[in-house]
């Protein structure tokens, strides 16, 4: 009888319909996005940075430089999955990495909201957004160097909590928007978007060893008959470091991962979820036309957006069908013994700085293989810590499976982890790096022992990559059995910072004026403390006597970055008076008008919050209306003879992106993704009135028409004209296909 009762209890604990429990229903998918409340001034994470002498200071930065503005806002974007039995979500944050304390805070907030769903939290690995959410790990003992602060500044619980709040909100929002969905998958080569960044391992894997594959998992909402009715969202999985912007940059930015996600979302008209892959040894690609900084971001974004569109179109979902939905978690023991090190071979609680100063470490891609018995002697020991189990997760959605790795997997480790999912029987297996928590670079032994930067910030040494792959293999092979739980973090509490007073009610102090295309509109105003949020700045267009929201794409309003850059300055600065409780909070919005932007009357509208006289209130400011006029910046011309004609190639004033002391300054926008900004955007289409002067006294006026084949304006030459020929276009004599013109005389000479 006892055996019978035990059997019943055992069977009752199993999911499925064995004992008449609820059967899984159709797959439902939801998507939601939440703005992360990042205060301007908070430092960025990923690079090791030092303050300059003129750093303005910030209540949100400690050892790192303060950020001074926003290029693109960080968001939390979640995709929720449910089949009526399993509820789980993927949530990505525009941050460098993820941590146990962040994950624990998200769990606490979901529990408080009554949501028991599991989740996977992943960082996009941008090096240009908020830091200070990695709890300290010291070198040697508690009084030693906090090694996490070297790349993330000192931990700040309030910033950690702001990230978790956004992540939890997006998960809840995604579950509130579940739609019955079908799934499609396609993959293609996107090698233009990334490149090999670790030449030290070339002897191991060969040159340019990286994963160039872009995989798009497409979800379509289905109708009552189960047929796809409209696109819902897509996951774009790719491997690329978020390091286009340099360490000197002080603008908060989602970097290349955000640029690809934004451009892909614009292409598809639905929110795209960027899922980071195995980017530990992969850098972002470059523009073949030499675009730099934020222009390079846009170039990569556009190229990536087109590739996502191509894969998305190939990933046509079929009718909705029964879809397996599984979420597995495993707590992976992180100890010296579990990883297979012998006593004395590696520090007991992990080590940092491995290979620094060792054989091959200074040879810059040298081919010296350090013996394992020497490697451990070159690691700085990490302080004693409680026994830890890191979290590794597997998510299966139909014929697609994802596995998470807690750090920066190399291409080789990521590929092995994905292959470990083969017993699941799925055709698409993807590794999610920078997920759930972070243990630095995850490399194979021969790769690690080649030295270089990555091993020096890999706290579990040369065995950790294969060890995690083995643990994924065990999770998959024992998936029907209970698994060890990951260690539970206990994030510290905090006292929220008080909001600083504004010296007066927000007001515009520098208004807009009429502007030509290719020029910039600037609006300066006083607002509120960055702790109250970065003010939103929108562009509105006048139509039929009323102002309405202008659009950056058919589905996205022109609001904030990358279109409108917002910068901040406090008077007095925090560096000058750190204890001041009342300041002049001055904001500047700068919108660079692209050469093809629609002409018309516009205004900028600012919304935000400020504390004035002890009360926090919302404010709204409207600029005076201004007119966007045709550009008159076609200022260069070259010419060449072809048969009985001359081809003129006029160009706009060059617009290479400029840095000021390493910080993005001017020409932040990409005008054209097929020409070099240093040589100027070619004027195309339209026509030009050209005066042709030839020796000795021949002069004639000719209308030159655009020719697609010649990629220029063709000027027919009068019969018999030879020798030196001068071609002149008077101001306003050329009007290109965009309606832009030349403010100065254009002149060029050829010989025939």
The arithmetic mean of pLDDT across residues 708-714, rounded, is: 95
Residue 92 CA to residue 104 CA, distance in Å, equals 15
For the chain, helix (H) and strand (E) counts, in that order, are 13, 43
* Residue-level pLDDT at 366: 60
Residue 301 CA to residue 285 CA, distance in Å, equals 11
With a cut of 70, say whether residue 274 has pLDDT above it: yes
Last residue of a domain, one of 629, 654, 673: 629
Q: Please, which pLDDT band fits residue 15 given cuts at 50, 70 and 90?
A: very low
- Does residue 347 sit within a domain? no
- The values of phi and psi at residue 242, to 5°, are -90, 65
Last residue of a domain, one of 629, 645, 672: 629
* Residue-level pLDDT at 364: 62
The reply to whether 516 and 449 lie within a common domain is no
The arithmetic mean of pLDDT across residues 410-425, rounded, is: 98
- Does residue 578 sit within a domain? yes
Residue 685 CA to residue 488 CA, distance in Å, equals 63
With a cut of 60, say whether residue 6 has pLDDT above it: no
- The values of phi and psi at residue 338, to 5°, are -60, -35
* Residue-level pLDDT at 450: 86
With a cut of 50, say whether residue 60 has pLDDT above it: yes
Strand duo 251-252 + 69-70: pairing: parallel
Residue 239 CA to residue 195 CA, distance in Å, equals 10
Report whether 540 contacts 564 (CB < 8 A).
no
For the chain, give the mean pLDDT: 93
Residue 66 CA to residue 52 CA, distance in Å, equals 10
End-to-end, the C-alpha distance of the chain in Å comes to 108
Residue 445 CA to residue 450 CA, distance in Å, equals 9
Residues 6+ apart with CB under 8 A from 557: 538, 549, 550, 551
The reply to whether 606 and 695 lie within a common domain is no
- Does residue 56 sit within a domain? no
3-state secondary structure 144-177: CCECCHHHHCCCCHHHHHHHHHHHHHHHHHHHCC
* Residue-level pLDDT at 28: 98
- The values of phi and psi at residue 161, to 5°, are -70, -35
**Least confidently predicted of 40-44, 94-98, 201-205, 251-255:** 201-205
Dig out the tokens for 371 from the structure: 């013996």
- Per-residue pLDDT of 102-149, as tens digits, reads 999 999 999 999 999 999 999 999 999 999 999 999 999 999 999 999
The reply to whether 158 and 255 lie within a common domain is yes
The reply to whether 290 and 193 lie within a common domain is yes
- Does residue 280 sit within a domain? yes
Domain coverage including residue 511: 501-629
Residue 648 CA to residue 642 CA, distance in Å, equals 11
Report whether 181 contacts 27 (CB < 8 A).
yes
Residue 495 CA to residue 476 CA, distance in Å, equals 43
Q: How many residues does the chain have?
A: 752
- Per-residue pLDDT of 655-665, as tens digits, reads 999 999 888 99
Compute the half-sphere exposure of residue 289: CA atoms within 13 Å on the CB side of its CA.
24
Report whether 557 contacts 262 (CB < 8 A).
no
Residues 6+ apart with CB under 8 A from 331: 389, 390, 391, 483, 484, 485, 486, 487
Residue 658 CA to residue 635 CA, distance in Å, equals 20
- Does residue 496 sit within a domain? no
Residue 512 CA to residue 331 CA, distance in Å, equals 57
Q: Please, which pLDDT band fits residue 452 given cuts at 50, 70 and 90?
A: confident
- Does residue 51 sit within a domain? no
DSSP 406-471: SSEE-HHHHHHHHHTTGGG--SEEEEE-SBSS--SEE--HHHHTT-SHHHHT-TTGGGHHHHHHHH
Q: Which candidate, 699, 749, 701, places its Cα nearest to that of 725?
A: 749
- Domain with residue 702: its CATH number is 2.60.40
- Does residue 154 sit within a domain? yes
Q: Please, which pLDDT band fits residue 100 given cuts at 50, 70 and 90?
A: very high
DSSP 663-729: EEEE--S-S-TTS-TTT-PBP-SSEEEEEEEETTTEEEEEEEEEETTTTEEEEEPPTT--SEEEEEE
**Radius of gyration of the chain, Cα coordinates, nearest whole angstrom:** 29
* Residue-level pLDDT at 722: 76
Q: Which candidate, 400, 404, 118, places its Cα nearest to that of 234?
A: 400
The reply to whether 649 and 709 lie within a common domain is yes
With a cut of 90, say whether residue 178 has pLDDT above it: yes
**Least confidently predicted of 136-150, 411-425, 623-637, 691-705:** 691-705
Q: Which candidate, 442, 487, 117, 167, places its Cα nearest to that of 330?
A: 487
Given CA atoms 552, 558, 559, 563 in this order, what sign does their dihedral have?
A: positive
Residues 6+ apart with CB under 8 A from 307: 188, 190, 193, 214
Q: What percent of the chain has pLDDT over 70?
A: 94
* Residue-level pLDDT at 20: 53
- The values of phi and psi at residue 153, to 5°, are 60, 175
Helices 464-477 and 411-419, packing angle to 10 deg? 10
Dig out the tokens for 599 from the structure: 């002409």
Residue 542 CA to residue 561 CA, distance in Å, equals 21
The reply to whether 471 and 404 lie within a common domain is yes
The reply to whether 102 and 203 lie within a common domain is yes
* Residue-level pLDDT at 9: 34
Q: Which long-range contacts (CB under 8 A, 24 or more apart) does 138-146 make?
A: 138/382, 138/383, 139/352, 139/380, 139/381, 139/382, 139/383, 140/380, 140/381, 140/382, 140/383, 141/383, 141/384, 142/383, 144/383
Domains of the chain: total: 3
Residue 99: how many other CB atoms lie within 10 Å? 25
Residue 704 CA to residue 725 CA, distance in Å, equals 15
The arithmetic mean of pLDDT across residues 428-456, rounded, is: 94
Residue 35 CA to residue 132 CA, distance in Å, equals 18
Dig out the tokens for 454 from the structure: 């990555």
The reply to whether 187 and 143 lie within a common domain is yes
Residue 415 CA to residue 421 CA, distance in Å, equals 10
Last residue of a domain, one of 610, 629, 648: 629
The reply to whether 587 and 645 lie within a common domain is no
With a cut of 50, say whether residue 335 has pLDDT above it: yes
Report whether 183 contacts 216 (CB < 8 A).
no
Residue 500 CA to residue 26 CA, distance in Å, equals 50
Identify the residue with better confidence: 356 or 523: 523
The reply to whether 187 and 265 lie within a common domain is yes
- Domain with residue 552: its CATH number is 2.60.40.2300
The arithmetic mean of pLDDT across residues 559-572, rounded, is: 98
- Does residue 13 sit within a domain? no
The reply to whether 688 and 611 lie within a common domain is no
The reply to whether 643 and 622 lie within a common domain is no
* Residue-level pLDDT at 138: 96
Strand duo 118-123 + 87-93: pairing: parallel
Report the SS3 class of residue 143.
Answer: coil
């Amino acid at each position: 009888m006892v055996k019978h009762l035990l059997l019943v209890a055992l069977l009752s604990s199993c999911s499925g319909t064995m004992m008449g429990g609820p059967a899984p229903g159709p797959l439902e998918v939801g998507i939601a996005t939440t703005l992360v409340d990042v205060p301007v001034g908070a430092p960025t994470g990923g690079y090791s940075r030092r303050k300059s002498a003129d750093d303005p200071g910030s209540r949100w930065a400690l050892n790192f430089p303060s950020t001074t503005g926003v290029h693109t806002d960080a968001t939390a974007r979640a995709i929720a999955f449910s089949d009526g039995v399993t509820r789980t979500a993927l949530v990505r944050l525009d941050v460098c990495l993820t941590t146990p304390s962040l994950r624990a805070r998200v769990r606490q907030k979901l529990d408080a909201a009554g949501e028991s769903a599991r989740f996977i939290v992943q960082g996009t690995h941008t090096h240009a957004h908020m830091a200070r959410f990695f709890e300290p790990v010291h070198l040697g003992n508690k009084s030693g160097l906090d090694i996490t602060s070297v790349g993330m500044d000192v931990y700040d619980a309030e910033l950690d909590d702001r990230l978790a709040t956004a992540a939890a909100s997006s998960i809840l929002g995604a579950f509130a928007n579940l739609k019955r969905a079908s799934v499609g998958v396609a993959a293609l080569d996107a090698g233009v978007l990334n490149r090999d960044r670790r030449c030290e391992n070339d002897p191991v894997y060969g040159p340019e060893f990286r994963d160039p594959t872009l995989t798009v998992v497409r979800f379509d909402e289905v109708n009552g008959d189960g047929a796809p009715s409209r696109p819902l969202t897509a996951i774009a999985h790719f491997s690329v470091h978020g390091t286009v912007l340099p360490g000197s940059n002080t603008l908060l930015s989602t970097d290349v991962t955000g640029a690809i996600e934004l451009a892909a979302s614009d292409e598809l008209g639905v929110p795209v979820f960027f899922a980071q892959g195995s980017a530990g040894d992969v850098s972002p690609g470059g523009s073949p036309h030499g675009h730099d900084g934020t222009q390079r971001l846009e170039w990569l974004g556009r190229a990536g957006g087109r590739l996502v569109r191509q894969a998305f179109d190939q990933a046509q979902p079929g009718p909705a069908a029964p879809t397996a939905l599984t979420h597995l978690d495993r707590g992976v023991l992180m100890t010296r013994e579990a990883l297979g090190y012998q006593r004395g071979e590696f520090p007991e609680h992990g080590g940092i700085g491995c290979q620094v100063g060792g054989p091959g470490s200074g040879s810059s891609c040298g081919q010296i293989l350090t013996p394992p018995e020497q490697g451990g002697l070159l690691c700085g020991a990490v302080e004693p810590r409680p026994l830890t189990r890191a979290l590794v997760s597997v998510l299966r959605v139909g014929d697609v499976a994802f596995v998470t790795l807690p750090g920066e997997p190399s291409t080789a480790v990521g590929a092995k982890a994905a292959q470990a999912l083969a017993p699941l029987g799925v055709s698409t297996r993807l590794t999610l790096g920078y997920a759930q928590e972070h243990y630095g670079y995850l490399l194979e032994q021969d790769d690690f022992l080649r030295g270089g930067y990555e091993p020096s910030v890999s706290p579990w040494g040369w065995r950790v990559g294969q060890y995690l792959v083995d643990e994924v293999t065990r999770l998959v092979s024992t998936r029907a059995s209970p698994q060890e739980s990951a260690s539970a973090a206990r994030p510290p509490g905090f006292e929220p910072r008080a909001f600083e007073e504004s010296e007066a009610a927000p007001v515009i102090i520098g208004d807009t004026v009429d502007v030509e295309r290719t020029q910039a509109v600037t609006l300066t105003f006083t607002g509120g403390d960055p702790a109250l949020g970065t003010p939103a700045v929108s562009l509105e267009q006048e139509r039929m006597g009323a102002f309405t929201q202008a659009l950056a794409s058919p589905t996205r309003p022109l609001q904030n970055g990358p279109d409108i850059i917002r910068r901040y300055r406090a008077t007095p600065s925090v560096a000058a008076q750190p204890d001041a409780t009342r300041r002049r909070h001055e904001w500047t919005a700068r919108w660079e008008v692209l050469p093809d932007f629609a002409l018309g009357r516009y205004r900028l509208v600012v919304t935000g919050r400020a504390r004035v006289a002890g009360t926090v209130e919302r404010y709204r400011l409207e600029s005076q209306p201004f007119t966007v006029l045709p550009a008159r910046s076609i200022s260069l011309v070259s010419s060449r003879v072809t048969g009985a004609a001359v081809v003129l190639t006029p160009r706009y004033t060059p617009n290479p992106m400029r840095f000021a002391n390493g910080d993005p300054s001017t020409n932040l926008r990409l005008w054209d993704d097929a020409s070099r900004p240093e040589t100027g955007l070619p004027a195309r289409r339209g026509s030009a009135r050209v005066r042709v002067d030839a020796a000795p006294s021949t002069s004639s006026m000719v209308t030159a028409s655009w020719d697609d084949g010649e990629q220029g304006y063709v000027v027919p030459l009068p019969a018999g004209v030879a020798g030196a020929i001068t071609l002149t276009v008077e101001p306003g004599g050329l009007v290109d296909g965009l309606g832009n013109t030349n403010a100065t005389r254009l002149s060029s000479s050829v010989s025939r």
